[in-house]
Structure 1
Amino acid sequence: MSYSSEDETDISDSELDEYVDRCYVQLQNGDPKVKLSDEVYRCPYCPGKKKLVYQFQDLIQHASDVGKGSQNKDIKHKGKHLGLVKYLKDDVDHDQEDLSSKFTELSLELPPNHGVNKLFVWPWMGILANVDVEGSISKLRNDLINRGFDPVRVRPLKGTFSVVEFKKDWSGFYNAMMFEKEFEVDHRGKKDYSTGSVMEDKLYGWIARDDDYKSKDVIGEYLQKNGDLKTIADLETDEKRKTGLLIANLDETIGKLMMRIDELERKHCASPAASL
Structure 2
Amino acid sequence: MENSSDEESGVSDSEIEEYAEKPYQALRTGNYKVWNLKGNLRCPFCAGKKKQEYALKDLHQHASGVAKGAAHRSAKQKATHLALAKFLEVDLGFKPIQTSQPAEAKPQPSEPKEKQIFCWPWMGIVVNILEDAKTGKQLADSGSLVKFFSKYRPLGVEVFNNEQEQTANAVVQFEKDMDGYKNLLNFEKSFQVVCHSKEEWIANKGSLGSNIYGWVACADDYHSEGKIGDYLRKNTELKALSDIFQQGKQACETIVNLANEIDLQNQNMVEMESMVNEKAMSLSRMVEEKEELQQTFYAGQFPWITYVAVTVLLA
Q: Which structure's residues are more often helix, by fraction?
A: 2
Please indicate the TM-score interval, normalised by the length of the shorter structure. Answer: 0.3 to 0.5
Tell me the TM-score normalized by structure 1.
0.45
Q: Which has the higher contact order (CA 8 A, sep 6+)?
A: 1
Q: Kindly name which structure, 1 or 2, has the bigger radius of gyration based on alpha carbons.
A: 2
Tell me the TM-score normalized by structure 2.
0.40
